[in-house]
Every structure is written in C-alpha cells, then in structure tokens.
Structure 1
Amino acid sequence: GSKGRIEMKVIEKSYINAGGDKKDEGAAVLQSIQVYPMFGEPYEVIVEQEAGGHGGGDPRLLDDLFGEVKEEDPWNRAATHVDGILSILTGIAANHSIASGKAVAIDELVSFKE
C-alpha cells in the first residue's frame, strides 16, 4: 500500500483426531501480525489466542449453530439463509459464465421478493 504493509503469519496444527481433544483440532500454533509503516519503525500487533481451529472461530460457529444460549454478535458474523443462497448462486453464475463464455449477473438468475 501507499502507507506501508501488513504481514500476517498463521501456523496451525494439522487436523489429526486420534483421541485428542476436539477443541485443539486445527488450533493455531503461532499467530502474528507485523506492521511496516512507510518511513517508520515496524511493530507487532498482539493477536489474542483462543482455543479451537480458525483462531477460535470453530467453537463460536458450533455454539452459534447448536448452542442453547445465543450471544449478541457486534460484528454480525453469522450467515443467514439468504447469504447461503447468494453463495450458491455465485457458483451457479460462474458455471453459466464458463459454459457461455459471457458474464452472468446473479440477479439475472433469480429475483427475490422484497
């Protein structure tokens, strides 16, 4: 970028469940963020470590789907059925585009009621 660069490094354990603890599958071994400002001294941003794979996202996802207590999410990370439909339609549009050799707009494939 024009103001410097950011480097993120994530090293995770391989997915091997041979009687181990489920929460450790895919867990991060190392996470670091280095910021290199243009004309400035580089510095590290501390990344909070959480249990489970995907930086603690797997337990959150499972709790969101199957947990009894729903926590408020200030970042609105949970996908809705509409998000799922749009994700599938992206693939369908890509396949139509590959077959026809033309651009395909998702709104040409389906219309949503408002």
Structure 2
Amino acid sequence: MTIFSIIMAATWLIAGVCVLMVGIKAGQGTLAKNKLIGIRTPELLASEEAWFKGHKAASPYLKISSVPLFIGGIICLFADDDLIGWVSIPVVVLLTIMILISSKKAHSSIK
C-alpha cells in the first residue's frame, strides 16, 4: 500500500459517501433546492415541486451510484499503483451511467 493508493482510496470512498448522502436526502425529501448539489437541469429547477418529486424518483439510482465508488475505493487499497488508473476507468464509467439513469428517472417522474 502506497501513499497514492491511500489517496485514491480515500478520494473514492469520500465521493461514495457524498453521493450516498445525496441519494438518502433526496429519498427523504430533505434535499433542498440549491446551487451545488442534486440533479441540476432546467426541468427540475423549474419549481420546488419538480425538484422534490424528481429527486425522490431518482433517489434509489443515486444511492446505487455510490456502489462503484465504494468498490473502487476498496480495490485501490489493495491494487498496485499501475492498476489504479485501470480501476478508476470503470468506476467513472459506471458512475456516469448511473447518474444519467437517475436523471432520466427524475425527468420521467415530473412529466
């Protein structure tokens, strides 16, 4: 375990916690409309009702989005420095796909 693997593991794990917390707060209906966090599309920002309804629908997918981050963080603890980049690619791809799916679910719920 090197300092690089520790930094990457901490980065992925902290990001996973942040994404999970957004998913939990969205599901509880406590994710207030803001300028930084959440699915920030014109449709969801149009009203408070759209914001809460869309995020509630996207909540399960947002929570699942944290899983690749946690897995990537754990793998980084045990992987050689040469493999960490290869671990990061599927983590980012899976995260992006899950976020896009959650955005689509949010939009379909407000239509």
Shorter-chain TM-score tier: under 0.3
Q: As a proportion of its length, which structure holds more helix?
A: 2
TM-score by length of 2: 0.28
Q: Which has the higher contact order (CA 8 A, sep 6+)?
A: 2
Higher relative strand content: 1
Structure number, greater radius of gyration: 1
